């Protein structure tokens, strides 16, 4: 059995990054429901991310999305985050919300539009220089809706050109994460539709380019943990956008739809050394809380990742390898299921007490009166949102 202090040490060192855009109003094409107490700017989104860290102890950074989090002084924003006890994590460019991008951004047939998109990506690296962020998190809505609309190969050449230009701009510890998505908003081809396309571009680019796995971006039935194990094995797993879904890119709370899948993913991470800081795997949430209160939903999501990680850390790796080497199919499967069927909540409650935080973060947040405070403070002014 894994040593308990080793398991607790790994859980204490866990780092789950929350997304600034999950604190703002969000929705679907049918409706964006406005909620009370919503942050009105990037500073207040950082305050809410700091609140999630205060109640969980393992969410010390927040990812930004530009221009949704545009400010005049990014160094000042980073200082504000520091004063709130957190840091600024990945920087997400946005080349999918302007009319110019109707036929794509970096893959657009029009070189002027490609230039405009590239300039925004490079501007986001300037922002990383100001915030001290390591990761440029790239997602392209680029694609086509009808066969023949554009040359698939030509678009790949345009994409490769832009990625190379951004790659050559990176310095220090900076990396670029290339996210893929099967469909939406394009419905015939996406220019980065799957892990293989992202992987191929990242191998072409070099050491600083890694694949970003958004758990909501696969065809139903896809074995995501296989992709995770493969990329980890090839040192090309840059990180995750955790969320869950029942059908499409639903962006629901991670672990809500399929906690067993989340466990299987974290088991491959733990067994493949992906929890070690040296692996550089970034654990980020990418969710939208369209009907539920934002901060409690993110606290719950962080706890879901923690619980899946704790179960994965309880997998008896020696017994597993033994059974696997003997071809003991049922024995090997039983080792994993024993860990999955372990109730890790008492151990996590104990860990939180050791960390000086309330063993039940959800109940503690409800009791804190924080929501009433921000609801009153933020009664006036425009709430932040996707602006879609
Ligand atoms: C695209 C995506 C991408 C983000 C956006 C908020 O579906 O997953 O990571 O930029 O959601
Ligand atoms: Mn994502």
Separation of CA 139 and ligand 1 centre (Å): 6
Say which residue the tokens 């992906």 belong to. Answer: 274
* Residue 150 CB–ligand 1 contact under 6 Å: no
Closest ligand to Cα 94:
1
Q: Are 25 and 386 in contact (CB under 8 A)?
A: yes
Non-local (6+) Cβ contacts of 186 within 8 A are: 141, 142, 143, 144, 145
E strand spans, 280-356: 282-285
Q: Are 275 and 228 in contact (CB under 8 A)?
A: no
Q: Kindly identify the ligand whose nearest atom is closest to the C-alpha of 184.
A: 1
**Ligand 1, residues 63, 187, 214: which to mutate, most atoms within 8 A of Cβ?**
214
179 lines ligand 1 (CB under 6 A): yes
Q: Which ligand is nearest to the CA of 96?
A: 1
Residues with CB under 5 A from ligand 2 (ion): 214, 241, 286
Alpha carbon nearest to ligand 1 atom 11, residue: 286
- With CA atoms as reference, report the closest residue to 280 among 336, 326, 225, 236: 236
List of residues 6+ apart from 100 with CB closer than 8 A: 108, 113, 116
Atom of ligand 1 nearest to the CA of 249: 7
Nearest CA to ligand 1 atom 2: 139
**Predicted local distance difference test score (pLDDT) of residue 387:** 62
214 pocket-lining for ligand 1 (C-beta < 6 Å): yes
Question: Which of 20, 28, 68, 139 has most ligand 1 atoms within 8 Å of CB, for mutation?
Answer: 139
Q: Cis before residue 81, ω within 30 degrees of 0?
A: no
Task: Report the pLDDT value the prediction gives residue 1, as an integer from 0 to 100.
Answer: 80
Average pLDDT for consecutive 10-residue bins of the chain (388 residues)?
94 98 95 96 98 98 98 98 98 98 98 98 98 98 98 98 98 98 98 98 98 98 98 98 97 97 98 97 98 98 98 98 98 98 98 98 98 97 79
Spacing, Cα 94 to ligand 1 middle (Å): 9
Query: Which ligand 1 atom is nearest residue 386's CA?
Result: 6
Which pLDDT value is given to residue 219?
98
For residue 93, the CA-to-ligand 1 centroid distance in Å is: 10
Question: How many C-beta atoms surround the C-beta of residue 31 within 10 A?
Answer: 9
E strand map for 268-372: 282-285
Residue 291: how many other CB atoms lie within 10 Å: 11
Distance 346 CA to ligand 1 centre (A): 34
């Amino acid at each position: 059995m894994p040593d308990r202090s080793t398991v607790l040490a790994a859980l204490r060192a866990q780092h789950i990054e929350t997304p600034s855009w999950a604190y703002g109003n969000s929705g679907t094409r049918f409706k964006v429901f406005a909620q009370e107490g919503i942050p009105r700017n990037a500073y207040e989104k950082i305050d809410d991310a700091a609140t999630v860290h205060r109640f969980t102890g393992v969410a010390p950074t927040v990812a930004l999305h530009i221009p949704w989090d545009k400010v005049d002084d990014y160094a000042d924003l980073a200082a504000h985050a520091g004063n709130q006890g957190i840091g600024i994590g990945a920087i997400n460019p946005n080349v999918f919300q302007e009319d110019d991008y109707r036929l794509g951004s970096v893959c657009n047939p029009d070189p002027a539009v490609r230039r405009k998109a590239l300039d925004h990506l490079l501007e986001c690296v300037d922002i990383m220089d100001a915030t001290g962020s390591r990761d440029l998190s790239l997602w392209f809505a680029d694609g086509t809706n009808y066969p023949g609309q554009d040359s698939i190969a030509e678009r790949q050449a345009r994409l490769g050109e832009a990625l190379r230009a951004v790659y050559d701009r990176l310095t220090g510890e900076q990396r670029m994460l290339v996210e893929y998505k099967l469909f939406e908003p394009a419905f015939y081809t996406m220019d980065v539709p799957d892990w293989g396309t992202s992987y191929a571009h990242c191998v072409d680019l070099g050491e600083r380019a890694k694949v970003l796995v958004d758990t909501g971006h696969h065809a139903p039935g896809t074995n995501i943990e296989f992709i995770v194990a493969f990329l980890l094995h090839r040192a090309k797993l840059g990180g995750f956008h955790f969320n869950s879904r029942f059908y499409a890119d639903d962006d629901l709370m991670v672990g809500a739809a399929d906690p067993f899948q989340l466990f299987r993913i974290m088991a491959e991470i733990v067994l493949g050394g992906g929890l070690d800081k040296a692996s550089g795997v970034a654990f980020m949430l990418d969710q939208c809380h369209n009907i539920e209160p934002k901060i409690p939903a993110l606290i719950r999501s962080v706890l879901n990742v923690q619980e899946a990680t704790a179960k994965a850390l309880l997998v008896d790796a020696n017994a597993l390898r033994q059974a696997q080497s003997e071809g003991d199919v049922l024995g090997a499967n039983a080792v994993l299921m024993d860990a999955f069927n372990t109730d890790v909540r008492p151990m996590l409650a104990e860990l939180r007490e050791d960390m000086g935080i309330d063993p039940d973060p959800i109940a503690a947040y409800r009791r804190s009166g924080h929501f009433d405070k921000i609801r009153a403070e933020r009664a006036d002014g425009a709430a932040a949102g996707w602006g879609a």
